[in-house]
Copies of this chain bind each other. A is one copy, B any other.
Amino acid sequence: MTVTLADVAQACGLSPSTVSRALSDPGRVSAQTRDKVARVAREMGYTPNRVARSLSMGRTGTIGLIVPDVANPFFPPIIKAVQARAARKDLVVVLADTDERAADELDRARVLSKQVDGLIMVSPRSPEPRIAEIGRLGPTVFVNRRVPEHPSVLIDNADGMRQAVEHLVALGHRRIGYLAGPRRSWSNQQRQAAITEACAQLGAELVTFGPFEPQVQAGVQAADLLQGSPATAVIAYDDLIALGVMARMSERGLSVGRDLSVMGIDDSPLSGMAYPTLTSIHVPGAEAGATAVDLLLDVLDGLHGEPPPPLVELETYLVVRSSTGPAPSR
């Protein structure tokens, strides 16, 4: 049915080994042989069996990608980027979604690790020890989480956060709310810390709420919590929560951008679609994804000289839209 290397070899009157070399390592055979093999292979419609190749080479040409929630708009750009970058390097990517269940991360990683060359863990929620265990499963790069001894691509939230607070303070806001994300989330910790520091430096008072799940519904809930608060502006852990807040405010007849300034984080495609458009802190998800692939490949290729695990930090910056405005003069 399917034509194998041996078939081609026989048709050429050569040994399988020679055909194999002719196809993969052309330098090692004569020009004639190479051409002949190439021609015959094409004519016969030969396509190498990747599985067999994997078995004998110990490389699958596959990388695993594990994300918490494909439906969260922050991740698709990352997934897309990883996929695109991988495709160009002739790799395919197998995807797993943990549905935000930290407990599933290790399981999925275990399963995948046996059929991939390396793993990319995006925004993992697992506690430290579990993360370490995942790291031991095989070459792994972490995105959005700092893991000692492992290459990771991180988001430098500090800059964006500072810009955000500066922006709000400039608009006259003095009491700022932060709608925290999941407690286990590394980036939530980073963001909260950065924002706390920025507020302190810039003389704004910070009130935090939460934690909230990164979902619109949580934002709706948050909006109501905000009721009694003196905060005139809020920064949400992510765009989804921010959108929920906005939706709820509008529903209650309040004007976002006037009565309350709302800011998201991620600058997901949603930001521009909302009304009012959402001021947000841009997080370079796509770059992060592409970078992760590059790092992983570095590790895979240079399994030799173990350079110190690279750590790439990507910058964030503020994108001002219309959900933030001057503080209401009380």
Whether B216 contacts A272 by the Cβ 8 Å rule is: yes
Whether B70 contacts A60 by the Cβ 8 Å rule is: no
Expressed in whole angstroms, the Cα–Cα distance for A50 and B250 within the complex equals 53
Which residues on B sit within 8 Å (CB–CB) of A216? 269, 272-273
Give me 28 A-to-B residue pairs in the complex whose CB atoms sit less than 8 angstroms apart, sorted by A's number.
Answer: A47-B114, A48-B114, A49-B114, A50-B115, A51-B51, A51-B60, A55-B55, A70-B70, A70-B76, A70-B79, A70-B80, A71-B76, A71-B77, A79-B97, A87-B96, A92-B94, A92-B96, A93-B94, A94-B94, A216-B269, A216-B272, A240-B273, A243-B273, A247-B273, A270-B270, A270-B273, A273-B274, A274-B275
Expressed in whole angstroms, the Cα–Cα distance for A272 and B108 within the complex equals 31
Binding site for B on A (CB under 8 A): 47-52, 54-55, 60, 62, 65, 69-71, 73, 76-77, 79-80, 83-84, 87, 92-97, 99, 108, 111-112, 114-115, 216, 240, 243-244, 246-247, 250, 269-270, 272-277
The answer, among B49, B65, B275, for a CB contact under 8 Å with A250, is B275
Count of chain copies: 2
Q: Given contacts A93-B95, A94-B62, A95-B94, is CB(A51)–CB(B55) below 8 Å?
A: yes
Interface centre among A84, A114, A244 (most CB of B within 10 A): A114
Smallest CB separation, A78 vs chain B (Å): 9
Expressed in whole angstroms, the Cα–Cα distance for A48 and B54 within the complex equals 15
Which residues on B sit within 8 Å (CB–CB) of A51? 51, 54-55, 60, 114-115
The answer, among B79, B112, B273, for a CB contact under 8 Å with A95, is B79
Smallest CB separation, A123 vs chain B (Å): 15
Whether B272 contacts A247 by the Cβ 8 Å rule is: yes
Whether B83 contacts A70 by the Cβ 8 Å rule is: yes
Expressed in whole angstroms, the Cα–Cα distance for A247 and B246 within the complex equals 15
